[in-house]
Structure 1
Amino acid sequence: MGALLAGFLTQLIADTTPYQPADRPRLGTVLVDLVAALFAHTLEAEGCLPPETHRRALVLRIKSFIRERLHDPRLTPATVAAAHHISTGYLHRLFRDEESTVAAWIRRLRLEGARRDLTEPARHATPIHAIAARWGFPRATDFSRAYRAAYGTTPQDHRRQALHGDE
């Protein structure tokens, strides 16, 4: 829990540009929930947390777990649920208030990571299929299809445009 709180604070301090003034109450609530969860965990009193605080802390732990394992192609909602000793149905209910489903969130994070790697000049010699595999897409065709659906272009065309401009 301490690492989760530290990661949240580090990310919050490092880049505040994505946040609007209207986000302050929600960010404050998340911070209070994490601090409460840390104390409850330390005192072995997690059962004393309000259900909503417990739920938000669990969602943050799950998201951290997912981010750490994005490269694993076997990362699925079922494996995430099993690792947290919850049912897949409960995992989906936890994500009901989030921006997307668990599977869609995993796919989006993987695609964002691959997109960054494709445009990074230091990786220009890395084959696209290797970048795809690095981000949890073992089959190049699945990666290309998901990439095109998300960004409206192929990974190869995006890389070419990013690295060479409109030559």
Structure 2
Amino acid sequence: MLPRAMLRMPEHDLARVTAIPVSCSDGLGTVVRPFLYGLARQVDELESLATPRLADNVADLVGTLLAEHTGADRTPQHDDGRQMLTQHILTYMEQRLADPELGPGRIAAAHHISRRYLYKLLAEHGYTVSGWIREHRLARCRRDLADPTLSHLPVGAIGSRWGFPGPAHFSHAFKAAYGISPSEVRTMQCQGPAQAR
């Protein structure tokens, strides 16, 4: 139900929790369960408000729950420096998603490492540099396409503001990732929840 990129977890960790029940009777589950039930009870009202920011927060909370379940946050002591560097790199990329010049060379130079080492660090977490950037840019575009306050922006402008070089490239990448075109997402949003059903 959530785009994988929004969970901000390595693929190998996501694979460990796919189709696996997660307890809601201990740990973070005791907080997440009532929160999600509350959202479900108010889903019609929330859909009419179209709250993409809330969707991001829900994804973060679910991702944190899954990370707790996989033990992803518990890393060996000797890996702390490497893990910290990887986290700095991911944060750097996240903050610069809108920059069309964001790429391996710039990222590696900003962290004083070689491209090869950059590729290795991200590969350990199940990512490629370009794949991570593309997935996160597309997730931001999808969020913006569903945001009624941005409905005045052309679809191509949404892609452009998140670093895609042109409308055709953006549309192709979006459809390949989600099976639906950006224009169709925008149309569904304009119809509203009731009509879309």
Q: Which residue of 1 aligns with 2:196?
A: 166
Q: Which residue of 1 aligns with 2:62?
A: 17
Q: Which residue of 2 aligns with 1:3?
A: none
Superposition map of 1:137-156 within 5 A: 137-156=164-183
Amino acid across the alignment from 1:109: H
| Distance apart, 1:117 and its partner CA | 0.3
Match of 2:72 among 3, 14, 26: 26
Match of 1:87 among 93, 97, 114: 114
Amino acid across the alignment from 2:72: R
Q: Which residue of 1 aligns with 2:85?
A: 58
Task: Return the TM-score normalized by structure 2.
Answer: 0.63
Q: Which residue of 2 aligns with 1:74?
A: 101
| Distance apart, 1:116 and its partner CA | 0.3
Between 1 and 2, higher relative CO (CA 8 Å, sep ≥ 6) is seen in 2
Runs of at least 4 residues off by over 6 Å: none
- CA gap of 1:83–1:123, structure 2 versus 1, over 3 A, is same
The CA distance in 2 between the partners of 1:54 and 1:103, in whole Å, is: 23
Amino acid across the alignment from 2:69: A
Amino acid across the alignment from 1:126: L
Instruction: Kindly report the root-mean-square deviation, in angstroms, between the aligned alpha carbons of the 2 structures.
Output: 2.3
Task: Return the TM-score normalized by structure 1.
Answer: 0.74
Q: Which residue of 1 aligns with 2:51?
A: none
Aligned partner of residue 16 in structure 1, secondary structure: helix
| Distance apart, 1:54 and its partner CA | 1.2
Aligned partner of residue 17 in structure 1, secondary structure: helix
Amino acid across the alignment from 1:26: A
